[in-house]
Structures are given as structure tokens and as C-alpha cells.
Amino acid sequence: MPGLRQHNVTAAQWSANGGALGPTDLTIPSNNVFGELVFSVDVQRQLLPKDVFKKLQTTLADGLPLDPALAGSVAQAMKEWALEKGATHYSHWFQPLTGSTAEKHDSFYSPTGTGGAIADFSGKELIRGEPDASSFPNGGLRATFEARGYTAWDPTSPAFITPNPNGATLTIPTAFVSWTGEALDHKIPLLRSMDALSKAAIKAVQLFGDTESKRVFTTVGAEQEYFLIDEQYYFERPDLLATERTLYGAKPPKGQELDDHYFGAIPERVQAFMFEAERELQRLGVPVKTRHNEVAPNQFEIAPLFENSNLGCDHQQIIMQTLKNVARKYGLVALLHEKPFAGVNGSGKHNNWSMGTDTGVNLMDPGDTPSENLQFLFFCTAVIKAVKKHQGLLRASVATAGQDHRLGANEAPPAIISIFLGAELSEAFAAIESGNPVDAGEAGFLGLGTEVLPKLPLHGGDRNRTSPFAFTGNRFEFRAPGSNMTVGFVNAVLNTIAAESLEEMATELEAKLEGGTAFDEAVTAVIKTHFVENKAIVFDGDGYSDEWQDIAAERGLLNLRTTPDALPELLSDTSVATFEKYGVLTKPEVEARFEVFTEQYVTKLNIESETAALIARTQILPAGLKYLALLDEVDGTGAKILTEEAEALVNDLVVKIKALEEKNAIHPAGELIDHAKYMRDDVLGAYAEVREIADKLEAIVPDDYWPLPRYSEMLFIK
């Protein structure tokens, strides 16, 4: 049996063993593990003095500044709770501009001076930590020798226990700021944007007669797509180790053409992994709800319920890390890259976003008769206005090297930002624009042709999977974020631009009301004005079609196909002015993010291109030469034909490898964005030529000679 086939047999072996969880009787209260590792409101109520608990909850509910006097009592209760859970260390957990999370662990125990030690954790230690600010990406905000930075406790996101087979750590969500006060993370702008949106939205709802709501929250529920492969293949692929995606791989005879994987039966090993991953997430208070097979082979999805934006973004980071950790227990590796395999669908992270009051009103819920729900139409129009004005900024917020493999392809939203409203909402806005009322009629039912099956309520409109920003019932689904991204910055952008639109429209409405215009007439006039001005962003058709490219150009919409095209939108006067006006980011903080994101793009492509050259020279080329040597031992016409075929490919490969290596050796001076364009236009082009030849070689070189696991193994052994 060839060596590769033996690997396949080994990789395919799995059975539940002594480490399996087994079924759980959830009718027993003690088996309900949800939130057991979280310093939740219920835990705080039990452990904190009543006055401290009340002050803390009032502070969080009303968005008030934190009283440092509370910190000592909270720290003491948090420490005792953590020690009971087996924690020996605590960590300030933050989200630097790397896109992942960071942490530094400190022991609870301090020496007493008499040969012993005591567990200690003060309010000061809870509130502030001090990691090295110059060692994280900062876009020039900090010089190399300027090291001081701070992590600041975020009380709106509860602390939790991170378990380990040999102990546990109290993990405290924090913000990350420089010594001079600049935000060096994704959390601070998100929290600032939530405050800005709340202020603008409260002004709007008060005009609609809501005198009870004190705060408006945005909510997030981000669907996470990912691939699973057997870990043996992962460690046999240097490209996966270095870049999280396969830089080589010929198209297998079978891919996703049969659509047989989507929503199919979940393989036993994968389902066992899912059960454990979900249990761990539930222990951490992450409300995961849905799991299923995705479109591509070995691609899956997990989705949580909606949560407050700040908490939802934190939980997304926990989901990604938990998937990676638990997968290894089952001999699997979770791949979160947007495009780990060529020729099959990549992975996204659909960001479901909405707004709601602290009194429980979802401002994005149209109700049974959307055409009569003026408050909903007002808020919906504000979102349309925001997306139209800041389409470039939204596109920039999801621009990464991995994303360039997805956006614009027939598997993900196009690079052109547009909004899908659906038939019912489109009809409601058309009625406002024309002044003719909508004939609501009666809600219909979908008959299924047999009395055995129930009649299903007929929704007012279909969904559009090609739309990057689609209304889906009671929220907008921003489908463009990538699977490997933090959604913190994306939601900071959404909140900020929505705050701007809401404030402008509320101010206009207020002026009309003060001028004596009747309420319904005033609201309708404001909605009509701003919908008509911005309706070019609304598109309900096929976003994958060539016609849409032409239509979008006629409408003046941006088509920012790649990351170097999109990232400069961060620096536009419009973007910077909006960020500064609402106190979300200063101009230096915006410029820093542009620098960091552009540098990450260049660095990632450089790692990919150098890895590609190394694999081609040291693994793929030798495989081709071995095959040629094998053919030299065989006489005959057939062998001659095969030799000519392989020799031509090997010779071409040598030339293309050298060309790629020469491109890799050049690092243009000047502006960083020019370097990014060089990587996109020159280096990626040279790599693509190497890959084209290498993938052709893979199709003719024998298994025993080919050095890399093939797609036909990695994608189908479960």
C-alpha cells in the first residue's frame, strides 16, 4: 500500500474512547453547565455586598463611569470565586490590533516574608495591568523605546475562568491603551461607538414618544464558518503551518459540485467534537445555538444567539479559540482562514447586527405591518443612509489578505457594498416615495400539497445570499466579514455611521416638529427625503452577475476589489471626520489602524510567497525530478510522451520559481500602500504562475513521489 494511502487509513480511524463525554441527563439541574465558569450577574449577586452589587449594576445599566471604590470589593469576591474554581493565576485578556487576543498571567500568590504565601488580588490589580505597548502593532503611535501601555478592566464583559488540564486562570476582559491615551485595540473604539449610537438613538426614540428608555444597545450574533481536517495532514503541510491556507493543491475529481455536504448528516467524529466544543462554550456563557455542515466538504458552521455588541464580540474570540483547542482532542485541526482550499467555498462570519432599547424594544423589528411602523422605517432609513455614505469605510473594515480570496467571487458577497431589503420593505419604501399607501392584505400560507404537512406562514420576501448587507427579518446581516476576523472593528464602524445618520435625521425631524408639522407628516417627509437620496445603495438582484457591476458603476457605487484598493478609505476625510465627531477614533488612531492593517497585508503576503517558493523548490521540484528519473528507466513511445510532458512542466517550474524568488527579494521603499500594491500585482502574480505549474504536476506525479497531502484526502476524510 502506498505511503499516502496508509496515512489515509490512519487518519480515518476514530472511535469514542475513555475521554468521551457521553450523554448528559439535562433534567438534573446540576448538569446544566451554562455559565458555570463566568463571574455572572447571578454570581455577583451572591458574592458581593448588596450595596456594591446594586451600584455596580446601576453603573453598567446606565453607562456611568466606574467608581474605583467598587473595585476592591469586586476584586475580593472575584478572587474567592476564582480560587474555588481552581484558579491560581489571573490574566488581563485584551484584543490588540493583531486581530487575535493577548494575555499575561500573574499569580494570585505573594510571599508573606515568613516562608509562606497568601492569595492576594486588589482592586488596583483588577482595574489596571501593564503590558508592553511597543511590542504590539500600533501604527507609529508608540516608538520602540516607548514601552508603557495599560490594560483597563471592562466591567461590561464578565470575567471568566479559562480551564487547563493542570489548573485554571481567572480571565478578565480589558481594553488596551497607550501611556498617552491612544486606543491600541478593537474594544475601546467599540465601546465608544456604542455610547455614540446610544446617545443618537435615544434622541430619536424620544421624538417617537419613548420617555422610559435610557439607553440603546446594539446587538451582534456572528455566524462562524470553519474547516476541519485531520491533524496528520495539517502537520504534513508547511503552507498550512505557516499561513493557515494551502498554497498548492490540484482540484480533486469531486469537490462541492454535488451539494451533498451542505446540511448533510454530520460525521460521528465531527459531531463528537461539536458536542464538546459547545459544552465548553456553554460553560463560558457563550449562547451557541446552531451547528451544521456548510457548502464545502469538511466545512462547518456554529452560530450564537444575539448579545450586546461588546459581549458578542468578546464571545466571538472565545468561539474561535475554543474551536481550535477542542479540535485537537479529536485529532482534528480547525482552520479559520477565509480560503484554506482553492476551488471550494471559503469561510465567512456573517455579522447579524441590530439595535434595541433597554426596555426591550428591537428597533429593527418591522412588526406585522412594516409600512405602518414609522419608527422602524425611520431607523431602517438611517441605516440605508449610513451604508450609502460610508460604503467605502464598511468595505475597508473587512479588507484583509484572506478576504481578497472571497469577496467578489461567486461564493461570497461582491466587493460592491449594497443593501437588500426584500419585497415587503421595498414595497413600503416605494409607497412612501410615491405617496400611495400599501395594500397590506392578509398574510398568506404556503401550501405543501398534502394535508399531512402543516401550512407554513408566507413571509413578505425571500432572502438574497449574494447581498453583502441584507435585511433578514429583525436585523441587518453584514455578510462580508471573514471567518478569521475579529468583529470588534466592524461593529465599531457600523455603530458610528448609524449614530451619525440617526442624529442628522432626528435633528431634521425635531426641526419639523418644532415648526408645527404634524408628527406623521414630518416623519414620513424625513424618511422620504433620505431614502430617495440614498436608494442607489439598495439592490435586490443577483450580486454575482456581471450586469450588477455595470449597474453599480452607473449608480456611482464603489467597487473596491482588493485590500490595497479598500484600505485608503479609512483615511478619507469623510471617514476621519465621522470618527472624530463621535469620539470613536482620533485622526492619529485612524491613521495607525491604516498603517497596521496595510502592514499586516504586506507581511502575510510576504510569508505566503516565501513559503510558496520554499515548498516549490524543496518539495515539489524534487518530486518532479524523481518522476523524470523514473520515466528515464522506461523505454517506449508512451514513456517518451510522458517524459516530454513532465520535462516541460519541470523546466517551466524552475523558471517560475526563480522569478518568484526574485520578486520576493524586492521590498519597495516609499509609501506602505505602494508596497501593498507591489505584493498584490507583482508577487502574487509570480506565485500564481508557480502554483499553476505545480498543480499540473500534482495531477501526473505518482502518489509515492508527491510530498503533500492532496485535496482529495484532506477534504474527504472525516
**Highest mean pLDDT (candidates 132-146, 330-344, 427-441):** 330-344
Buried b (16+ CB within 10 A) or exposed e, 670-690: eebbebbbbbbebbbebbebb
Residue 121 has pLDDT above 90, yes or no: no
> Which residues neighbour 544 within 8 Å (Cβ) at sequence distance 6 or greater?
410, 414, 466
Query: What does R_g of the chain's alpha carbons equal in angstroms?
Result: 28
Determine contact, residues 76/121, Cβ cutoff 8 Å: yes
Q: What is the pLDDT of residue 1?
A: 42
Q: Show the cell assigned to 199.
A: 446617545
Average pLDDT, integer, range 614-634: 94
Residue 161 has pLDDT above 60, yes or no: yes
Strand order in the sheet with 351-357: 307-308, 216-222, 351-357, 476-478, 469-471, 419-420
Rounded Cα–Cα distance for residues 305 and 221 (Å) = 6
Q: What is the pLDDT of residue 635?
A: 80
H helix runs in 85-216, sequence order: 123-127, 187-207
pLDDT digit string (tens) for 633-672?
888 888 889 999 999 999 999 999 999 999 999 988 889 9
Residue 144 has pLDDT above 80, yes or no: no
Q: What is the pLDDT of residue 347?
A: 94
Q: What is the pLDDT of residue 196?
A: 97
Where residue 461 falls among pLDDT bands split at 50, 70, 90?
low
> Which residues neighbour 225 within 8 Å (Cβ) at sequence distance 6 or greater?
294, 299, 300, 301, 347, 348, 349, 483
Average pLDDT, integer, range 460-478: 83
Q: Which residue, chain included where needed, has cell 467555498?
A: 345
Residue 142 has pLDDT above 80, yes or no: no
> Which residues neighbour 663 within 8 Å (Cβ) at sequence distance 6 or greater?
609, 682, 683, 686
Rounded Cα–Cα distance for residues 578 and 589 (Å) = 13
pLDDT digit string (tens) for 670-687?
899 999 999 999 999 999
Determine contact, residues 648/631, Cβ cutoff 8 Å: no
Q: Show the cell assigned to 293.
A: 455542515
Residue 661 neighbours by CB distance under 10 Å: 17
Identify which of 599, 666, 604, 485 has the alpha carbon closest to the alpha carbon of residue 242: 604
654 compared with 464, residue with greater pLDDT: 654
Domain definitions of the chain by residue range = 33-181, 186-222+348-441+456-544
Which CATH number is 33-181's, of 3.10.20.70, 3.20.20.210, 3.30.70.2860, 3.90.79.10?
A: 3.10.20.70
Determine contact, residues 363/474, Cβ cutoff 8 Å: no
Q: Determine the residue type at 401.
A: A
507 compared with 453, residue with greater pLDDT: 507
Identify which of 290, 522, 542, 526 has the alpha carbon closest to the alpha carbon of residue 416: 542
617: left (phi over 0), alpha (psi -120 to 50) or beta: alpha
Residue 572 neighbours by CB distance under 10 Å: 15
Largest pairwise CA distance in the chain: 98
SS (H, E, C) 179-191: CCCCECECHHHHH
Rounded Cα–Cα distance for residues 202 and 249 (Å) = 53
Tell me the percentage of the chain whose pLDDT exceeds 90: 70
Rounded Cα–Cα distance for residues 514 and 526 (Å) = 14
pLDDT digit string (tens) for 5-60?
677 777 777 777 656 677 777 778 777 889 999 999 999 999 999 999 998 888 88
Rounded Cα–Cα distance for residues 69 and 74 (Å) = 9
Tally the C-alpha atoms within 13 A of residue 287's C-alpha that lie toward its C-beta: 10
Average pLDDT, integer, range 576-599: 97
Where residue 295 falls among pLDDT bands split at 50, 70, 90?
confident
Identify which of 423, 400, 454, 422 has the alpha carbon closest to the alpha carbon of residue 676: 400
Where residue 589 falls among pLDDT bands split at 50, 70, 90?
very high
Residue 699 neighbours by CB distance under 10 Å: 11
Determine contact, residues 313/491, Cβ cutoff 8 Å: yes
Where residue 456 falls among pLDDT bands split at 50, 70, 90?
low
H or E element in which residue 354 lies? strand 351-357
Listed in order, strand segments (DSSP E) in 366-426 are 419-420
Determine contact, residues 294/261, Cβ cutoff 8 Å: yes
619 compared with 466, residue with greater pLDDT: 619
Stretch among 174-183, 184-193, 404-413, 545-554 having the lowest mean pLDDT: 404-413
Write down the mean pLDDT value for the chain.
Answer: 90
> Which residues neighbour 249 within 8 Å (Cβ) at sequence distance 6 or greater?
341, 342, 343, 695, 698, 708, 710, 711
Taking the complete model, does pTM exceed 0.75, yes or no?
yes
CA 289 vs CA 269, 286, 315, 335, 471: distances in Å = 20, 9, 13, 21, 21
Q: What is the pLDDT of residue 449?
A: 62
Average pLDDT, integer, range 242-251: 96
Q: Determine the residue type at 455.
A: K
**Paired strand residues for 169:** 89, 162
H helix runs in 222-308, sequence order: 231-235, 238-243, 268-283
Average pLDDT, integer, range 473-487: 93
Rounded Cα–Cα distance for residues 198 and 215 (Å) = 6
**Paired strand residues for 228:** 334
**Chain length of the chain:** 718
Where residue 119 falls among pLDDT bands split at 50, 70, 90?
confident
Q: What is the pLDDT of residue 588?
A: 95
Q: What is the pLDDT of residue 127?
A: 87
pLDDT digit string (tens) for 213-230?
999 999 999 999 999 999
Residue 454 has pLDDT above 70, yes or no: no
Q: What is the pLDDT of residue 219?
A: 95
Q: Determine the residue type at 413.
A: P
H or E element in which residue 150 lies? strand 149-153
SS3 of residue 672 by DSSP:
helix
